[in-house]
Amino acid sequence: MYIELSEPYIIGGQITSRSQDIFVIRESGEYASLLKYEDYTSATVRKLEWCYSESDYHFFFGAGGQLRPMNITGPVLSKVIPWNLETAQYPESVHRDEIKPGYMLDLRVLQMSRFNPPRWFEHSPQERRDTPIRQIKSLLPEYLPDISYLPLIASNQLCDPVEENLYIASYVNPLKVRDCNQFYPYHIHYISTKELDSFEQLDLKNGQVIDLNGLNQTIDRLKNALIQTPDSDEIKTQLNQERQVLAAQSLARFYRNAGVQAGALNPEDVLGQVSQNQVKHAQVMRADRATVCMVANLMSFL
């Protein structure tokens, strides 16, 4: 399936919500599903858990008077097992039979940290800080803000395979700055296997024998060609196709084949070689090389 990857990652020196798009490598290892930010956060998606303020919250995974089961606390990617669902607190809008075991993908653990120093043309964006939630007094004594350990019979379920249903935990304001000592608004949404199948799919067999350094050079040549003929649909199409190959093989080689479970890249770090001439042309910068930002590899559990 053709995936259009031309929307910008960066506007005015700020990364956009597109940096929160997720490639999910499926258990078969043949394809990766692309979940755009709105695909897992919009009002139409089933929401299981949230904490938006001191008075607006629902803790789905609260069990035994404690808020966090140990098996889904800490990892970026973990299993949601039958025991988690048997002890869960279902919101009124969600029917128990709709929710099945699957994988928890906790995007709060991933960071869009910079790994490379800024380029000569970058400007420091204005810092935007998230607003923390203070102590929720109404929780006590109903809940303890602590971790619950699974009984032995439930721990054994962690060895069993689960379907490709996703529980995606994310901050409400993912692009804002947070202090690791504070607690911030978040929510958890549920994506079923059927819904995951309906999203755009990237073929990981595409470009298996291509040298990626040579592909980078090809992309640079296409960028320069687009500057000369900005209305060329042929160049735009070829550029998008080459970028899809780069995305597919970045996922296949550096995540699937290497057994890497999850990761994130700041799009500012993977723009490639950018000339002064290219910086002046917005349409070329829109066609940047940052085709992989957030990744979850379900094949890593097999």
For the chain, percent of residues with pLDDT exceeding 70: 84
- Is there a cis peptide before residue 141, judged by omega within 30 degrees of 0? yes
pLDDT at 190 over 90: yes
pLDDT digit string, tens, across residues 211-242: 999 998 999 899 889 888 989 999 989 988 99
pLDDT at 54 over 80: yes
pLDDT digit string, tens, across residues 102-143: 999 999 999 888 887 876 566 666 788 999 998 787 765 566
Three-state secondary structure readout of the chain: CCCCCCCCCEECCEECHHHHCEEEECCCCCEEEEECHHHHHCCCCEEEEEECCCCCEECCCCECCEEEEHHHCCCCEEEECHHHHHCCCCCCCCCHHHCCCEEEEECCCCCCCCCCCCCCCCCCCCCCECCCCCCCHHHCCCCEEEEECCCHHHHHHHHCCCCCCEEEEEECCCCCECCCCCCCCEEEEEECHHHHHHCEEEECCCCCCCCHHHHHHHHHHHHHHHHHCCCCHHHHHHHHHHHHHHHHHHHHHHHHCCCCCEEECCHHHHCCCCCHHHHCCHHHHHCCCCCCCEEEEHHHHC
The stretch 66-72 carries a mean pLDDT of: 87
In this prediction, residue 2 has a pLDDT band, given cuts at 50, 70 and 90, of: very low
Which one has a higher pLDDT value, 192 or 291?
Answer: 192
The stretch 54-83 carries a mean pLDDT of: 89
pLDDT at 154 over 80: yes
Which one has a higher pLDDT value, 12 or 264?
Answer: 264
The stretch 68-72 carries a mean pLDDT of: 92
Q: What average pLDDT does the structure give for the chain?
A: 87
The stretch 32-52 carries a mean pLDDT of: 96
pLDDT of residue 3: 47
pLDDT of residue 65: 65
pLDDT of residue 286: 45
In this prediction, residue 287 has a pLDDT band, given cuts at 50, 70 and 90, of: very low
pLDDT of residue 284: 47
In this prediction, residue 21 has a pLDDT band, given cuts at 50, 70 and 90, of: very high
For the chain, percent of residues with pLDDT exceeding 90: 64
Phi, psi of 264 (to 5 degrees): -150, 145
